[in-house]
Structure 1
Amino acid sequence: MLKSNLLVLYLSYRDPRVKWFAKLFTLCVVAYAFSPIDLIPDFIPILGYVDDLIIVPIGIVLALKMIPQVVIEENRPKAQEILSKPRNWYTATLFIIVWVLLAAWLSLYVYNRFFS
């Protein structure tokens, strides 16, 4: 549900019917949700997860209230369609294999060049 709502917000952000201040707030919420940098670092006991459990959902709810309902209803099916598409694991596997082979080749090259 959280991922779906974030995708709806992202799609709604790009809609011209959304007012500029709602776009700005929505952009901040989506960027914060996907950002690896937290307002309160996760290593702080209890408080570290406050932003993940409270701040992000409240931001999503507020952003959804700022966006016209028509825009949200148009973007919900689009978000569900994007989320339901199958992932192309073959391509991802191919890229991982290429990177592993490249790293192995580079390691052997450096070892043979500088350590033997």
Structure 2
Amino acid sequence: MAEGFAQELLGSNWRVASAGVERHGLNPNAVKVMAEVGVDIADHHSKLIDLDYLNSSDLVVTLCGDARDKCPMTPVSVEKQHWPLPDPAGATGTEAEKLAVFRTVRDEIRERVLALREAD
């Protein structure tokens, strides 16, 4: 979801990529809630961190504690931000309750990406 919003909202001055410390596949609920706000991430896929890409970045954002804790070391020249968001894939309950968690996280990610744009 973060990659989708970043590509949509940050413009061509930003080089955006999303990757994790593990591959989990694309969650269909993420695709669904992003489509609700007009962002198509259906063609995105789960990728592993590329250390060369990571080390050539200006900013690295981690989205949950597990990612922050397992993210490889980066040079001091790379700014790091941690957005302590719950992993919506861990949501439990009915389908409607799970989607509500995805929407909450989606909306928080959107606000944080917009804040990055404003700070640029």
Q: Which structure features the higher share of strand residues?
A: 2
**Higher radius of gyration, 1 or 2:** 1
